[in-house]
């Protein structure tokens, strides 16, 4: 199937920093594509070039095989990472204003129900909670009934309930065969929503594919988790690599039986042992490193 969006050799050079350094990928119709990466990896710049609000230094973005133009503007829905809205306007008035900017789109009342805004429809924008504001921004992104939806870190700062509520909304939109591009810091979110993810670092894509395939390609081991106070062994003397966290230790192994034998040999109680497969967060940290980004 022909891709909805094609990103070809994208480069964005700012004075002293190459924010995007030769990025290429495609997004298939009806799929959810996740762009992951640490702070400063170049995700937002890449997305903004794809949205047509930032000019690339080099490279192209094609929508249905054509450069971004009127069709793209009419058919794209965008939720920026940070968007201030007009003051003194209610939720309904804000939606009505954005709705009038498009020739076609969804009914405002329908959007209010879809994004669960019924309770706050007459409330001033400035008096919305974080979750309510994110749902309003999503509703604004949906006013033109978009074929392709850009969501840049839509759940950052939300509490778990609000985040899960937001995921349900995105899944409902995906069920309507819309194409979604999502950037996020939450690996669980990407795993839950995305058909394909691309991990970016230092302006480049360092891994791309369906999450389950990426995990299979990069990991053949599992993680054995034990409470730290029950693992009374010097990690240097243990035959397998041991990762020490605040309250637990993690042992990485492809041979569970051997690991269990080693634990029993060292007299480690197995009462609270947990075995889990490697997840997207492990992959993310493995590929991008554990040092803090600013």
Partner 1 sequence: MNPRRLFAVWHARNLEFLRDRSTLVFNFVLPLALVVAFAVIFGGQPRNLMDIGVITAPGATLDAGLHPFLGTRYVDFHRVEAADLDAAIRAVERHQSALLLDLRGAPGYWVNADSPNGYLAEKLLLASARDAVRQPVSGAAVGYVDWLLPGILGMNMMFSCLFGVGYVVVRYRKSGFLRRLSATPVTALEFGAAQILSRLALTVSVTTLVYAVLALLVPFRNDGSVFLLFATAVLGAICMISLGFMVAARFSSEELANGFINLVSWPMMLLSGVWFSLESAPPWLRMAAETLPLTQMLQAARAIMLDGAGILDVLPRLATLLAMTAVFLGIAAAGFRWRAA
Question: Do the beta carbons of residue 61 and residue 95 sit within 8 Å?
Answer: no
E strand or H helix that includes residue 160: helix 160-175
Q: What angle do CA 78, 83, 85 make, to 5 degrees?
A: 110
Interacting stretch for partner 1, rule CB under 8 A, among 92-100, 162-170, 174-182, 217-225? 92-100
Q: Is 153 in the site for partner 1 (CB under 8 A)?
A: no
Q: Is 51 in the site for partner 1 (CB under 8 A)?
A: yes
List 40, 52, 209, 227, residue binding partner 1 (CB under 8 A): 52
* Rounded Cα–Cα distance for residues 20 and 12 (Å): 5
Count CB-CB contacts under 10 A for residue 41: 24
**Which of 82, 148, 141 is closest to 114 using CA atoms?**
141
CA 217 to chain centre: 20
Restricted to residues 120-149, the positions that interact with partner 1 (CB under 8 A) are 140
Q: Is 100 in the site for partner 1 (CB under 8 A)?
A: yes
Write down the least CB distance from residue 126 to partner 1, Å: 11
Phi-psi category of residue 10: left, alpha or beta, with phi > 0 → left and psi -120 to 50 → alpha: beta
Q: Is 264 in the site for partner 1 (CB under 8 A)?
A: no
Q: Which residue has the tokens 């809205």?
A: 85
Restricted to residues 56-75, the positions that interact with partner 1 (CB under 8 A) are 70, 73-74
Q: Is 80 in the site for partner 1 (CB under 8 A)?
A: yes
Q: Is 31 in the site for partner 1 (CB under 8 A)?
A: no
List 23, 61, 76, 133, residue binding partner 1 (CB under 8 A): 76
Q: Is 84 in the site for partner 1 (CB under 8 A)?
A: yes
Q: Is 260 in the site for partner 1 (CB under 8 A)?
A: no
Question: Do the beta carbons of residue 83 and residue 48 sit within 8 Å?
Answer: no
Q: Is 83 in the site for partner 1 (CB under 8 A)?
A: yes
Residues making contact with partner 1 (CB under 8 A): 51-53, 70, 73-74, 76, 78, 80, 82-89, 93-94, 96-103, 140
């Amino acid at each position: 199937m022909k891709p909805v969006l094609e990103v070809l050799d994208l480069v964005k050079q700012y004075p002293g920093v190459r924010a995007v350094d030769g990025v290429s990928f495609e997004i298939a119709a009806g799929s959810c594509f996740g762009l992951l990466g640490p702070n400063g990896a170049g995700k937002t710049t890449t997305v903004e070039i794809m949205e047509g609000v930032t000019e690339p230094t080099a490279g192209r973005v094609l929508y249905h095989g054509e450069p971004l133009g009127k069709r793209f503007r009419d058919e794209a829905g965008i939720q920026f990472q940070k968007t201030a809205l007009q003051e003194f306007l209610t939720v309904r008035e804000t939606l009505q204003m954005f709705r009038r900017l498009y020739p076609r789109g969804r009914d405002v009342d329908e959007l209010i129900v879809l994004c669960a805004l019924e309770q706050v429809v007459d409330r001033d924008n400035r008096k919305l909670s974080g979750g309510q504001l994110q749902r309003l921004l999503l509703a604004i992104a949906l006013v033109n009934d978009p074929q392709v939806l850009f969501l840049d870190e839509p759940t950052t700062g939300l509490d778990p309930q609000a985040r899960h509520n937001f995921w349900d909304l995105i899944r409902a939109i995906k069920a309507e065969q819309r194409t979604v591009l999502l950037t996020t810091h939450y690996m669980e979110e990407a795993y839950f929503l995305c058909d394909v993810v691309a991990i970016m670092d230092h302006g480049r894509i360092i891994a791309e594919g369906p999450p389950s395939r990426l995990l299979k390609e990069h990991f053949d081991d599992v993680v054995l988790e034990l409470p730290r106070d029950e693992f009374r062994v010097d990690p240097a003397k243990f035959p397998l690599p041991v990762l020490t966290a605040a309250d637990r230790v993690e042992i990485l192994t492809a041979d569970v039986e051997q690991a269990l034998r080693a634990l029993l040999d060292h007299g480690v109680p197995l009462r609270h042992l947990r075995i889990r497969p490697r997840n997207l967060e492990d992959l993310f940290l493995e590929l991008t490193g554990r040092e803090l980004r600013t």
